[in-house]
């Protein structure tokens, strides 16, 4: 967002700023600079490589001088209006606003689940780290859940030892508000050899010779080791969390034993091995809404209406595809829950490292932005509800993902950026409106005072122009979000005011 930013630092030195940043003032330990972004969303595609790219814009920062005896360090870039409160409240109001209706938040990406290899508690991301790009500190994820009143869904790192899992559970018990529940899952898609956790589970399963433990494998010998290790480690993780919370608080925990959605044999292997199902509350599956045929380079000849014909044609097969999974889960008195879901618009093979066809990428991105995406997505959510993949607040559907730019690797973000107007985000609109009929699970609708909000607008996804009328004085009101800020003493002269006025 444009405005006056502040750079704070410790030590002695000189900072230079460039590109879209212009220095306004300097003093020891602080540089104020203006920032007006010049990014044009049209530049988000490098036509050569078909991935997000935005040329030379943004904030350029360079350390030009420093004092070796007291080097410049601890550099912080603060957005406008947050210099007095960024430590107490690290989340921007627009970010909170975009998430406030969601009943549960799965922190898989924020934890860096698919790329980090945390082994001990000392390996975890810390608030003192210079960047959270690799992973968000656990404390911040807990704070976000506390501020929003949302149920957190945590993925335990695949290589983490028992002490890490126990410390994570203890921190959650000490920190998290008591009116929310906690979803716990061992890593993410442990069956998937594309991820480090899949390779790790396969190696562990082979090293432990798990194919020779218990009854013969239901699946093939090449798959069975990782499925069985996934079951064993999930049970161990669930046991640790249950031990920390104790029998009196077990009702706050929701243990998710996830599976490969297209494989009933894999599901049975995971559930039955060493009685893992006894510790689980749900069987985790995906709820992706794809095309009826493979998305290949031949799609470059299609138009957007044909894309939606493909998507709608796949809804019935998608809905019926869960029958076997439901039966496998029901055998152990379990139900399904969607750990990820949403439209899956990506060319086949690209995520695994294959090449993308430029015209196909442009077509899929255009379809994700098209107004027809909203009614399709809503119908898809209804199909998933009929398939018993979700059931409102008790079994929320984890829409993937909250925000992110579109690229050849998929158009996953429900918002392309946090402040995107809902009018430009059909997937976001679809989920917000599905929330109204409890298709995906939500928090109660916010009650907003009409004195400060346009009453003709729904109280979600409010744009900048929605704030109208006199200042808000009717607070607190139901749904208000309180944030820690700087305290000010305000004094005014009432001399000359009419008698009895307030």
CB atoms near residue 349 (< 10 Å): 13
By DSSP bridging, strand 182-186 and strand 151-156 are parallel
pLDDT band at 394 (very low <50, low <70, confident <90, very high): confident
By DSSP bridging, strand 21-27 and strand 30-35 are antiparallel
> Which one of 50-64, 333-347, 379-393, 488-502 scores highest in mean pLDDT?
333-347
- The predicted pLDDT at position 460 comes to 33
- Provide mean pLDDT across the span 418-424: 91
Percent helix, strand, coil in the chain, to 5, is 35, 20, 50
CB atoms near residue 474 (< 10 Å): 12
Rounded distance between C-alpha atoms, residue 336 and residue 296, angstroms: 31
Three state DSSP letters for 336-347:
EEEEEEEECCCC
By DSSP bridging, strand 182-186 and strand 253-258 are parallel
Question: Percentage of the chain surpassing pLDDT 90?
Answer: 72
| Cβ proximity of 7 and 15 under 8 Å | yes
Q: What are the residue ranges spanned by the domains of the chain?
A: 3-78, 89-280, 285-438
444-485: pLDDT as tens digits: 444 333 223 333 333 333 333 333 223 333 334 444 454 555
> Is the model's pLDDT at 127 over the cut of 50?
yes
SS3 237: helix
């Amino acid at each position: 967002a444009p405005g006056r930013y502040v750079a704070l630092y410790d030590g002695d030195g000189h900072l230079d700023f460039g590109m879209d940043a212009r220095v306004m003032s300097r003093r020891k330990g602080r540089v104020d600079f203006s920032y007006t972004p010049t990014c044009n969303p049209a530049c988000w595609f490098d036509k050569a490589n078909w991935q997000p790219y935005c040329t030379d814009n943004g904030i350029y920062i360079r350390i030009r001088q420093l004092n070796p005896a007291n080097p410049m360090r601890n550099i912080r870039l603060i957005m406008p209006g947050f210099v007095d409160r960024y430590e107490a409240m690290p989340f921007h109001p627009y970010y909170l606003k975009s998430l406030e209706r969601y009943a549960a938040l799965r922190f898989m990406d924020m934890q860096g689940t698919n790329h980090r290899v945390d082994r001990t508690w000392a390996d975890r991301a810390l608030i003192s780290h210079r960047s959270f790009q690799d992973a968000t500190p656990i404390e911040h994820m807990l704070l976000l859940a506390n501020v929003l009143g949302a149920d957190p869904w945590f993925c335990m790192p695949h290589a983490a030892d028992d002490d890490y899992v126990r410390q994570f559970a203890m921190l959650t018990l000490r920190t998290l508000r008591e009116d929310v529940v906690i979803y716990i899952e061992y890593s993410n898609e442990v069956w998937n050899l594309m991820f480090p956790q899949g390779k790790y589970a396969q190696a562990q399963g082979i090293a432990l010779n798990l194919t020779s433990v218990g009854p013969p494998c239901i699946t093939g010998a090449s798959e069975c080791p990782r499925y069985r290790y996934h079951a064993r480690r999930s049970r161990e993780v669930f046991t640790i969390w249950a031990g920390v919370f104790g029998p009196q608080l077990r009702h706050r925990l929701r243990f998710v034993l996830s599976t490969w959605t297209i494989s009933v044999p894999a599901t049975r292997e995971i559930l039955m091995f060493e009685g893992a199902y006894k510790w689980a509350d749900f069987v985790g599956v995906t709820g992706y809404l794809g095309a009826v045929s493979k998305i290949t380079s031949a799609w470059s000849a299609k138009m957007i209406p044909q894309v939606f014909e493909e998507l709608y044609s796949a809804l019935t097969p998608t809905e019926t595809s869960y029958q076997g999974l439901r039966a496998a889960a029901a055998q152990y008195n379990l139900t399904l829950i969607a750990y990820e879901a949403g439209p899956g618009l990506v060319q086949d093979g690209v995520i695994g490292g294959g090449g993308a066809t430029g015209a196909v990428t442009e077509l899929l991105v255009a379809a994700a932005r098209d107004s027809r995406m909203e009614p399709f997505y809503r119908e898809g959510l209804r199909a998933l509800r009929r398939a018993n993949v979700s059931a409102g607040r008790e079994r929320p559907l984890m829409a993937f993902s909250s925000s992110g730019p579109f690229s050849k690797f998929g158009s996953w973000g429900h918002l392309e950026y946090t402040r995107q107007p809902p009018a430009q985000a059909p997937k976001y609109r679809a989920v917000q409106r599905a929330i109204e009929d409890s298709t995906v699970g939500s928090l109660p609708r916010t009650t907003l005072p009409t004195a400060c909000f346009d009453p003709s607008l729904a109280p979600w996804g409010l744009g900048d122009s929605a704030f109208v009328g006199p200042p808000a004085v009717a607070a607190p009101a139901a749904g208000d979000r309180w944030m820690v800020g700087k305290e000010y003493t305000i004094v005014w002269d009432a001399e000359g005011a009419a008698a009895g006025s307030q």
